[in-house]
Structure 1
């Protein structure tokens, strides 16, 4: 009997030793396996976190003007910019041991398995925050072993290559909160109309409960379910010691204001401008469509919301509702090239075609400042005289003819100065100058002014018959406004990726491309379109809007049968307006012909209302003298009209106008009494 017991004990001990050995071996194998897995994960490095995120566009004052999200709202915020209540509430309900486990919560997994076995169904999840983050980033939500293995691999790689704070930040920024909203920042704005950092305890715990099942716990779908989930989270936070009983009671009773379903999509801000920004992101900076749409970019633009609003209101107030005429507008800072406002058409929803940057139209007389700049460089002065009369020009070795016409076929029928020709927009003077300089000169200088569209080498090019874009003309005039420096339109100042790295920053360097003295002279000449002293056989072309202007402006209007332009500027702001019909229909109504000038004048006055507008400062190489505007000679005290005009030093006139000096035979004879000394006349008066 004793022998039997001993044998039994020996066998039992043998089994224990064998079991202990196997268990120890398994522990060692598991230890080395886990160590190997984590070491390998560390060796392969962090997985790429390509998280779809909303790209946000900002105005120059930091205001959000637009987003690109493909219907999904996603923003990325740093962990420190998320309410601590939301962080703790999420950890309390999703993964209490988040900071102590290595990606997998063994205790929770075992508990979930037992609960599932007891219920004979899937009733409890065992996934940690890291596992959920891995699933959100890299995997589908299908319930297969292949997906679970991949999830485990990605979980290990996340845990070994990122800190707990980085994982938690990533999870909170990618989790789905229902209604097309991803991440806490987008969810906070959608549900409560505020940033995630400003959430109260009640709001945070209500929000933290939604990811478990957005279709079940969204307060918009079931407030009852949402409140039950909130109570559970408050209870868990209280157990951990993150809140008190009193705080939990107050949060549970708090009346929460929801706004998501009542929020209508706002009207897009400057939609034509935003289209150009997206075009620049792709074609200038080189980003692909997916990165632009879902790369979580922060795109800082040059848009001035105040100026944009003024421009849009001006369009609405000036263009008649019963008119189907189209219009486009650009405002630029001539020093930097920053585009401050842009309108590509009267209604973006009806026509997203951007007439400000895409349409090519005849600029009319707005091309003349470029021609006359070239003329001044090649020897013209503001007093250069040419005859204004109906003229037929022969060119191409006499094989072709061209007869330009002034507005209403009015001509001076005599000589006029360049200053007056520019102010009155005399077409004969312009064509004569164009042919005298050579028809390739305007094309050459157009490139110098930043015009990339082709200017034809024909006589009519002097009258703006070669099609150009509005943005090109605004850019060309910016060269004048800034004193002759190169400049290009800028829409984007900086682009930052979702990690905060600056991937693009505008670094435009302006170079001098024009003579500063000649530039100043042409700038001063262009103020003449608003100066009635230059009236002649016709009124100056800015006559109709002079009464609206309180500042000194330079500018030029342009009119063809199908197009109406107005471009004007100060040293700090250039604005260009085009109006016309898309189909090239003629502008016949008098009121429609005035739209461009009215829009320009109204915008400039309102945009500069609170600014001190400086005049163009004379450069060192110019000299100013009073001249008679009709003949360009030095004015005398007898000239009824005189205008202070600037010339390149050494080219100013040296002859005086004698046209108005009274000659001796024109002076009436004096009476005998007028010849007497004053005291004798006084004596006669007393007598």
Structure 2
């Protein structure tokens, strides 16, 4: 036996000692690196899990009215809202050891490297679910070493800061299933027309196989390949212990009913309303375009789908199809300001211009209720009388102004304020406007939310300054609710993809009008439907009065180029505008009736199932019966009586004696006739 010389032995020990020392150093450095990476991941904190998702818009009843996706459909749902079958199928085929590793499957990586070396090309993937999710969050597929390093660091951050359930939920909500569809919820709807929580084992196993190659394994591209991939998924589920072999065979044989081939292109629901909602999201709530389009928001709106359908239907049916006349309609709950229906034009596909929100048109006589509210505040009453006759006004600057009544009809006598608004007497309106001061009407209109520029001129009383339909309806809504400020509400609530409420509409009940004067104005506006106020002409609502089945307050307005009708019941206020976009004159009598007809049909059908309600008098008003012809207290001798409301203390105290004198003369005549007969009888 040969002995190892001491020098060689010492040299061997030296090498072994150096190897151990270097190994310890490397182990320490590796542990330090791992610790540093984990510490860095902790220090950087949890990475955001949000990715572009489809924003969905809902009506007030919870039905979906639209979505914003930029060509991509994405929804976010929790694991508890997914079928267990899709969760198990995905884990089994994508990352069987997902719940056991810390983001990287070392054995799988080694096996993939060996397989790639043998084939001399990349034939096997080794990415875990966490790695794939990190890649999805980066939203870029460039194959640089820097991106791969970032992806690895992102993977560690995910594993360190989130639970496995959080990561799996995020992954299932972001993977691509082809055809512009991202996430399991969107895929379930797209392929099978159902939510992810209702997927069967057969459907889930088909979907789980698609992300491997969406353009290759999609059943809409090649169903044979898709079925082969489904079989692999089911086998993986059996190997993972999620299902039995028998269940796998049965799921494979089960026929799949797809929905995509039967999808119909539907007409968008309330497109003008949806455009307005997006505008509000940008301007009022302050969300950027990307968040609106791809933020995964759930936007709950105030839209009533039934009222919207009624509005669109009436516009379509009443306006002559061959006419170029346009229309706009806004309906609102006067108690809350919630917009229940909105139409911005007759055909959204031809014109996206929103005439209900963007256009400014002359409101005509629909502006008069604001004038008469201001007048009542200045001491006018429904019985205030002025002459209705052709009048030329000389203004302070020396110029003259001569307003004309419709068709140049005048009473050539005194009429009451109640008659003036019901008959829409222009001379009475201008006299009132100049008497109370031109600034009073402007101030009142601004209190009521009119945002357009108003000119302090005599003709403002006749609605010559252009305004928006939405503003006019809001103003009438304030009159309807007794003078409380409201603003149009299109969005009731917004929920982000996590289910957190990030916005909720709130109205502040701030009084902007005197409630008693507002109620008296409302009662005056009921007169347009009441033939008791007929005088030198009929009330302006005569043509639609027979269609009315409940109390309404309203006012119509007509100019050479515009036709309006705005009115309300206690539960609903609506305004309709019709006219030509380019301001052409409306020459046909039927054209000037469109707005009234649309309005009355919309109101009647929309409130069909609602209880009939009257306007409730406020505490500071009193109702008395008057002779509508002269505004005096009615007596038994008056042939016509009308209940009229006044601010307490301003009601008339003088009784109508005109008919009493006539009645007395008739009685005397009858008595004389009777005496003559008696004398004749005695003579015989």
**TM-score bracket relative to the smaller structure:** over 0.9
Match of 2:475 in 1: 476
Match of 2:267 in 1: 267
1:658-682 C-alpha deviation (Å, 9 max, x unpaired): 2222234443525369879xxxx9x
CA root-mean-square deviation: 2.1
Deviates more, 1:493-502 or 1:85-94: 493-502
Question: Per-residue deviation at 1:29?
Answer: 3.0
Question: Per-residue deviation at 1:70?
Answer: 0.8
Deviates more, 1:360-369 or 1:21-30: 21-30
Q: Does 1:669 align with 2:664?
A: no
The within-5 A match list for 1:633-644 is 633-644=632-643
Q: Does 1:498 align with 2:501?
A: no
Alpha carbons of structure 1 residues 641 and 448: separation in structure 2 relative to 1, 3 Å: same
Question: Per-residue deviation at 1:480?
Answer: 0.8
1:380-411 C-alpha deviation (Å, 9 max, x unpaired): 111111000111111124x1111111111000
SS at match of 1:360: coil
Question: Per-residue deviation at 1:143?
Answer: 2.7
Question: Following the alignment from structure 1 to structure 2, what is the Cα–Cα distance between the partners of residues 78 and 658?
Answer: 79
Question: Following the alignment from structure 1 to structure 2, what is the Cα–Cα distance between the partners of residues 9 and 234?
Answer: 61
Contact 1:431–1:463 (8 Å) recurs in 2: yes
Q: Does 1:100 align with 2:103?
A: no
Match of 1:322 in 2: 322
SS at match of 1:567: strand
The within-5 A match list for 1:372-387 is 372-387=372-387
Contact 1:139–1:147 (8 Å) recurs in 2: no
Question: Following the alignment from structure 1 to structure 2, what is the Cα–Cα distance between the partners of residues 220 and 411?
Answer: 74
Q: Does 1:164 align with 2:164?
A: yes
Question: Following the alignment from structure 2 to structure 1, what is the Cα–Cα distance between the partners of residues 219 and 160?
Answer: 37
Match of 1:90 in 2: 90
The within-5 A match list for 1:224-239 is 224-239=224-239
Q: Does 1:337 align with 2:337?
A: yes
Question: Following the alignment from structure 1 to structure 2, what is the Cα–Cα distance between the partners of residues 536 and 119?
Answer: 100
Question: Per-residue deviation at 1:25?
Answer: 4.4
1:58-100 C-alpha deviation (Å, 9 max, x unpaired): 1111111111111110111111111111011000010011111
Question: Per-residue deviation at 1:187?
Answer: 0.8
Question: Following the alignment from structure 2 to structure 1, what is the Cα–Cα distance between the partners of residues 139 and 490?
Answer: 38
Question: Following the alignment from structure 1 to structure 2, what is the Cα–Cα distance between the partners of residues 667 and 659?
Answer: 19
Question: Following the alignment from structure 1 to structure 2, what is the Cα–Cα distance between the partners of residues 22 and 143?
Answer: 34
SS at match of 1:594: helix
1:37-66 C-alpha deviation (Å, 9 max, x unpaired): 112111111223341111111111111111
Question: Per-residue deviation at 1:163?
Answer: 1.0
Question: Following the alignment from structure 2 to structure 1, what is the Cα–Cα distance between the partners of residues 633 and 670?
Answer: 23
SS at match of 1:179: coil
Gaps of 5+ in 2: none
Contact 1:382–1:419 (8 Å) recurs in 2: yes
Match of 2:257 in 1: 257
Alpha carbons of structure 1 residues 8 and 241: separation in structure 2 relative to 1, 3 Å: farther
What's the TM-score once normalised by structure 1's chain length? 0.95
Alpha carbons of structure 1 residues 362 and 162: separation in structure 2 relative to 1, 3 Å: same
Contact 1:442–1:455 (8 Å) recurs in 2: no
SS at match of 1:209: helix
Question: Following the alignment from structure 1 to structure 2, what is the Cα–Cα distance between the partners of residues 41 and 47?
Answer: 9
Contact 1:563–1:587 (8 Å) recurs in 2: yes
Gaps of 5+ in 1: none
1:278-324 C-alpha deviation (Å, 9 max, x unpaired): 11111111111111111111111111111111111111111111111
1:322-342 C-alpha deviation (Å, 9 max, x unpaired): 111000000000111001100
Match of 1:68 in 2: 68
Question: Per-residue deviation at 1:193?
Answer: 0.5
Contact 1:139–1:151 (8 Å) recurs in 2: no
SS at match of 1:3: coil
SS at match of 1:544: helix
Question: Following the alignment from structure 1 to structure 2, what is the Cα–Cα distance between the partners of residues 608 and 373?
Answer: 27
Question: Per-residue deviation at 1:22?
Answer: 4.7
Question: Per-residue deviation at 1:14?
Answer: 7.5
1:4-53 C-alpha deviation (Å, 9 max, x unpaired): 79999998887776656555544443233222211211111122334111
1:553-587 C-alpha deviation (Å, 9 max, x unpaired): 00000000000000010111000000000100001
Q: Does 1:394 align with 2:394?
A: yes
Question: Per-residue deviation at 1:144?
Answer: 2.9
Contact 1:625–1:634 (8 Å) recurs in 2: yes
Alpha carbons of structure 1 residues 12 and 365: separation in structure 2 relative to 1, 3 Å: same
Question: Following the alignment from structure 1 to structure 2, what is the Cα–Cα distance between the partners of residues 247 and 50?
Answer: 36
SS at match of 1:375: helix
SS at match of 1:158: helix
Question: Per-residue deviation at 1:515?
Answer: 1.4
Match of 1:175 in 2: 175
Question: Following the alignment from structure 1 to structure 2, what is the Cα–Cα distance between the partners of residues 607 and 525?
Answer: 24
Alpha carbons of structure 1 residues 19 and 202: separation in structure 2 relative to 1, 3 Å: farther
SS at match of 1:96: coil
Question: Per-residue deviation at 1:247?
Answer: 1.1
Question: Following the alignment from structure 2 to structure 1, what is the Cα–Cα distance between the partners of residues 562 and 601?
Answer: 20
Q: Does 1:39 align with 2:42?
A: no
Question: Following the alignment from structure 2 to structure 1, what is the Cα–Cα distance between the partners of residues 24 and 265?
Answer: 63
Question: Following the alignment from structure 1 to structure 2, what is the Cα–Cα distance between the partners of residues 107 and 11?
Answer: 37
Question: Per-residue deviation at 1:633?
Answer: 1.1
Alpha carbons of structure 1 residues 666 and 100: separation in structure 2 relative to 1, 3 Å: same
Question: Following the alignment from structure 1 to structure 2, what is the Cα–Cα distance between the partners of residues 312 and 12?
Answer: 95
1:405-452 C-alpha deviation (Å, 9 max, x unpaired): 111100001000011111000000000100111111111111111112
SS at match of 2:166: helix
Match of 2:409 in 1: 410
Q: Does 1:211 align with 2:211?
A: yes
Match of 2:362 in 1: 362
Match of 2:185 in 1: 185
Question: Following the alignment from structure 1 to structure 2, what is the Cα–Cα distance between the partners of residues 346 and 658?
Answer: 54
SS at match of 2:659: coil
| Aligned length in residues | 677
Contact 1:443–1:454 (8 Å) recurs in 2: no
